[in-house]
């Protein structure tokens, strides 16, 4: 048995086409969705990500503002820029590209963003909404994972989902999204003893630990859905957190790297920005 592929690129393309169509409808009502992205410093990976987001915005018909700030930018200066964007009615979404220089407190920066414009879904208000089951901005990667599973009509209610990784960007918010869809959820992490004991119980296994090829074939329940969030740059190229070639012979469904979860993250960023722009009319 070879696993079916969960094609994130295909689902993301469909979402982006839908977003572009809805953005045109908004423009007819006098609103152009606007996303401001702040990049501090010269981190090479961040530059690539920001470029991808800027391109996606243009293709969706959004107004995209990229604010490049020097490495020497102080926290006060960055907070001042965020304050200006909070007050700008033409900006519906604000994204500060992480990581930031070590002297800047990322939590203070995230907390300074207007929760209604927090398209990353990291603001404490939006985190509280997610935990409480109240509608709000949801982090893009976990939201994309759920949208992909639902697009492929993979049943979630009553299933055991095991998430490897407890970050605030993926693991924790994904746990709440899956709980809301009636999954039984186990979250594993670096201190989990006998990781394979838990992963072999998973109907849906999500690897988001940032360790290349951590999940091997003997750790996967036959027929399981395996979602690989990892993007690890090795000398041989990109690798996920899952040993793809081996695990695809055991799993029922699996995401490739690249082309799995990554494209959905940007698609969800566009959806969140569009939602914020739509709410600005209310």
Domain containing 231 — which CATH number? 3.40.50.720
Please report, in tens digits, the pLDDT of each residue of the chain (282 residues total): 799 999 999 999 999 999 999 999 999 999 999 999 999 998 888 888 899 999 999 999 999 999 999 999 999 999 999 999 999 999 999 999 999 999 999 999 999 999 999 999 999 999 999 999 999 999 999 999 999 999 999 999 999 999 999 999 999 999 999 999 999 999 999 999 999 999 999 999 999 999 999 999 999 999 999 999 998 888 878 889 999 999 999 999 999 999 999 999 999 999 999 999 999 987
User: For this structure, is 53 an active site residue?
Assistant: yes
- Note the pTM of the prediction, 2 decimals: 0.95
User: For this structure, is 7 an active site residue?
Assistant: no
Q: Which of 97, 172, 241, 243 is catalytic?
A: 97
Q: Which of 53, 117, 159, 172 is catalytic?
A: 53
72 and 163 housed in the same domain: no
Q: Which of 120, 203, 228, 243 is catalytic?
A: 120
Domain count, the chain: 2
168 and 238 housed in the same domain: yes
53 and 162 housed in the same domain: no
User: For this structure, is 97 an active site residue?
Assistant: yes
E strand spans, 123-230: 160-164, 184-188, 204-207, 225-228
102 and 153 housed in the same domain: no
What's the CATH number where 34 sits? 3.40.50.10860
89 and 153 housed in the same domain: no
164 and 234 housed in the same domain: yes
55 and 94 housed in the same domain: yes
Domain boundary among 81, 114, 147: 114
Using only C-alpha atoms, the chain has a radius of gyration, in whole angstroms, of 19
> Which domain range does residue 164 map to?
139-262
């Amino acid at each position: 048995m070879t696993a079916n592929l969960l094609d994130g690129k295909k689902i993301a393309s469909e979402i982006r086409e839908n977003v572009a169509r809805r953005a045109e409808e908004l423009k007819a009502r006098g609103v152009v969705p606007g996303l401001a992205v702040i990049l501090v410093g010269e981190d090479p990976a961040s530059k690539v990500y920001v470029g991808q987001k800027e391109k996606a915005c243009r293709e969706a018909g959004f107004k995209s503002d990229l604010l490049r700030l020097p490495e020497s930018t102080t926290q006060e200066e960055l907070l001042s820029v965020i304050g200006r964007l909070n007050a700008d009615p033409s900006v519906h979404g604000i994204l500060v590209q992480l990581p930031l220089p070590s002297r800047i407190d990322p939590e203070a920066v995230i907390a300074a963003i207007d929760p209604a414009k927090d398209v990353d879904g990291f603001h404490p208000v939006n985190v509280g909404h997610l935990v409480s089951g109240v509608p709000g901005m949801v982090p893009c990667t976990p939201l994309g994972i759920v949208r992909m599973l639902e697009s492929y009509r993979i049943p979630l209610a009553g299933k055991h989902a095991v998430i490897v990784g407890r970050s605030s960007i993926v693991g924790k918010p994904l746990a709440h999204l899956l709980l809301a869809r009636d999954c039984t959820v186990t979250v594993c992490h670096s201190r989990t003893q006998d990781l394979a004991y838990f992963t072999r119980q998973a109907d849906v296994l999500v690897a988001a630990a940032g360790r290349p090829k951590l999940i091997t074939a003997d750790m996967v329940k036959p027929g399981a859905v395996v979602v690989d969030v990892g993007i690890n740059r090795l000398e041989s190229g990109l690798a996920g957190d899952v040993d793809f070639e081996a695990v695809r012979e055991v799993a029922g469904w699996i995401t490739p790297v690249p082309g799995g979860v990554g494209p959905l993250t940007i698609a969800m960023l566009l959806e969140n920005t569009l939602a914020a722009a739509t709410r600005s009319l209310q």
